[in-house]
A and B are shown apart, each in its own frame.
Chain A
Amino acid sequence: DIQLTQSPSSLSASVGDRVTITCRASQGIHTYLVWYQQKPGNVPRLLIYATSVLRSGVPSRFRGSGSGTDFTLTISSLQPEDVATYYCQQYDSDPRTFGQGTKVEIK
C-alpha cells in the first residue's frame, strides 16, 4: 500500500500569511493526488485534483503542485474561513490512501 505522510500535522499562522502543507508518498504516484478541506463539523470538500487542478468555485489562493512522491498545497494568503483540516489522497492505486491530515489554525 502507498503511504502518504503530511507535514506538518498542525500549524498556526496569521491572516494573510502564506501557508504550505506537504504530502509525501512512499512511492511514485505520478500526479494522481487530491486535496480535501474539512472544516470542523463538516463533510470533506474537494479542493484540488490531479495535483494542481483547482475545482470550480475554489478560491485562487489555493494552489497545488508536485509530482512523483512530493506534493504541496499552498494557501497564498490565509483567510479566517480557511481554518480546517486538509487531507491529501492518492488515486494512483488501490487502496486509495489518505494522508493523516494537517490542521490549520489562525494565530
Chain B
Amino acid sequence: EPEVTQTPSHQVTQMGQEVILRCVPISNHLYFYWYRQILGQKVEFLVSFYNNEISEKSEIFDDQFSVERPDGSNFTLKIRSTKLEDSAMYFCASRALAGGPDTQYFGPGTRLTVL
C-alpha cells in the first residue's frame, strides 16, 4: 500500500541553524500539507501546497518557514533559523483530489530537537 515517507526520522540541531525536513508524498496525490505537534499538544496546521504554490498557511508559518517541491516527488519544509520553540514533531500529509472530502495520509513524522 502506498504511503507517505519522511526523512530524517529525528533531527537534532543548534539554535539558529537551518534545517530541511523532507517528505515523499503518495505519487498520484495533488495536495500536500505540513503539520507540527509540540510534545503533549495537539497537531497544528502549518501550510498547504497545491499546483506548486502555497494555498493556505497558518500564523505559525512565518518568514522563517518555506516549502518547496523541488522535483516531482519530494516536498520539503525549510526552517531558516531554528528557535528552541521549533522543537516538535513535524508531519507531512498528502491527499489525492483537488476537491471533495478525500482523506489526508500522514507520514510517520520527523522529530526536530533544537538545542
A binds B: no
Tell me the A residues contacting B by CB distance below 8 Å: none
